[in-house]
Structure formats: C-alpha cells, structure tokens
Amino acid sequence: MATPSHMIPTLNDAVVTSTFVFADLAGYTALTEAHGNERAADVAAAFCDELRALLGDYGAEEIKAAGDALIVRVPDASQALALVARIVGDFDARDRALGVRVGMHTGTAVQRGDDWFGSAVNVASRIADLAHAGEVIVSAATRDAAVSCALAGELRSRGQRSLKHVPQPMEVFALVREGVDGRHELPVDPVCQITVDPAVSDETIVWRGVEYHFCSSVCAEAFHETPTRYVRRPASRALVLVSDEARENAAQRLARAYAKGRIDGGELEQRLESAWSARTRADLKAITHDLPRRRRHAVQVWQLPIFPLILLVRVSRARIRRLRRRRASR
C-alpha cells in the first residue's frame, strides 16, 4: 500500500529549538474603527516593513504576517530579545501613536513548507495576548535561554499565568527597558486608544473635571457627542498611572475572591488579564470594585495606650505575608 504524500518525511521535518516572536500593534482595531481601513492599513504596513528591515541583523526569519501582526522565528534567544527591545524602542520613539506589544517563547517546533508547527508557536501566541502597548512578555524558557543577552533594562517577573489551551500555568516576565520603568508616560485617546503626544496634538476636552487628549478632531467630536460611551468611570486625573505592585495587589484580591467562590475560573482569567494590562487606577478600580475589601479590625479602648505597638505588629505581619507569597510564586 502506497504511503500518502503528506506522510512522507521531508528534509525540513527536523525538530528545531527556536524562539518564536509574536508582534502586533495594540489598539489597531480601535484605530480601524475610528479612522478607517486605509489609514489602519498604512500604519500596519509601515510597522511590518520596519520590522522586516531588522530581521537580517539578528538572524531572524519571518514566518507569516496577518494584518498588523508579524510572526518571527529567531534561532538564538539572546538575539530575539535584542531584536524585540529594538522594535519596541524604535517604533515607540518614532510613531508615538500605537504601541507595539510582543510575546515570546522558546521551544521546539517542526517546519513544514514555509510554516512552523508545534507547542512553542502556540505558547508564544498565548503569551502575546498578555502584553499591552509598549510591553514585551517572555516565558521563563526564553529568559533562561537568553543568558548571553546584554539588555539596557531588566526582566521582571509577572508571576504564574494560566494560558488558554496550556495545561500548566507558566511563569512570565516583562522586559522593562532602562529609563521607561514599564509605564506609559503619554495619555491615551479614549476613542481610538492611540497614545497621544500633547506636544503634537492640541485636541483636548475637559469633561467632569478631567482633561482628555485626542489624536484628531474626528475622535474629539466623537467623544463630545457621547462621552459616556468611552469613559466608564471618570478619574480625578486624565492620566493616573499604576505600577506593577498595584497590579499585583489587584491580582491577589482576585485570587482571594476566586478561592472564596465569589468569581469563577473564567471570570478570574478574564479579570487577571485586564488587571495586568490596566494603565490607570480607574482601570484597576473598575476590575475590583465589586469585590469586598479585607475587614479592618476595630481598636478597643483598652488598646489605645499600646496602639503604636499593635500597628507595628500588623504592618510586620502584612510584610511577612507578601514576602511568603513572592517566594511561593518564584
């Protein structure tokens, strides 16, 4: 009986260890809706062309492109990290509109024709879903493989994350570039979610005491007509940025709510993704507003003389609990 042609091994069927990179533009869908297909296509084409021009410098190859996303394979993990650090830095400094988000994972895959198949490719795609604008998220496997990479920054742990269709949680790390500290320093257009440089665009609207910045008059007019469509909860400032520690505290509150049965597994995963991508305190508050806070213990009258000592004990216990949780997550 003849063997079907698709079952016959080919020369490129060898299993190879590589680092797979998923890079796309955060807010691309909102950009398309706000400014039309032509402008969105121009931005996506410029991004992909810029990325392709860098591949040869790092021994990388393009696997496929889909809209604003580009999938790349790099044989060396250190070269892959250097490539994405340059992509995010160069594009953000030049464009200042849409942020690049990147997911990376190192593992084995097999080549069939011009495409690559394997769990490593799928995991890289799932990790990319965790990243927000201007952020690079890498797996522990990529971090361990990139031992010789000298980066102008550091890899900070984001803890264990559950990935869709991946049986076990994986530890992931965020690449924080030197001088950036993982935060967004520019306001975001609430209509199209594009980062706005106030020095370039003077389209602003003050609504309920908050100043909002817009990339164009089109977005400003849309916001003026129905502001409640684009702002869920007005904050005291237009740009109140949150740190990784604040996101971690929100994630811990969600984990406690899940353990007590207040939210289910699907809602936990959805809210955790939103918490790690939150940019402002208002975003975090919207995610956890319906969760009960830890009950504060009232101070009894007889405790007043020794209240400073009681407070010191409570603070010390809280610090010990945080240290234990961080050690357990490593």
Separation of alpha carbons 97 and 193, rounded Å: 9
Degrees to nearest 5, angle at CA 213 with 245 and 227: 95
Contacts of 320 (CB under 8 A, 6+ apart): none
- Axis crossing angle, helix 28-35 with helix 37-55, rounded to the nearest 10: 140
Residues of the chain with pLDDT under 50: 1-11, 93, 95-96, 181-184, 233-240
Position 184 scores a pLDDT of 46
Structure tokens at 326: 């961080």
- What is the model's pLDDT at position 139? 92
Q: For residue 106, what pLDDT is reported?
A: 94
DSSP H/E element including 309: helix 307-329
**Which is nearest to 176 in space by CA: 198, 199, 143?**
143
What's the CA gap between 63 and 73, in Å, rounded? 7
DSSP state of 261: T
**C-alpha radius of gyration, the chain, whole number:** 23
Pairing outcome for strands 136-139 and 99-112: parallel
> Vertex 126, ends 125 and 130: CA angle to 5°?
115
- The residue type of 169 is P
Residue 73, pLDDT score: 93
CB neighbourhood size of 145 (10 A): 22
Query: Partners of 74 in the beta sheet?
Result: 19
pLDDT of the residue at 13:
65
Provide the β-strand partners of residue 15.
110
Per-residue pLDDT at 104: 92
119 CB contacts (<8 Å, ≥6 apart)? Answer: 107, 108, 109
DSSP state of 8: S
CB 23 within 8 Å of CB 101? yes
Degrees, nearest 5: CA angle 180-185-191: 135
Cα-based angle 35, 41, 42 (whole degrees, multiple of 5) = 90
Q: Which pLDDT score is estimated for 238?
A: 38
pLDDT at residue number 138: 92
pLDDT value at residue 74: 92
Cα distance between residue 170 and residue 174, in whole Å: 13
d(CA 81, CA 19): 9
Residue 323 structure tokens = 């240290």
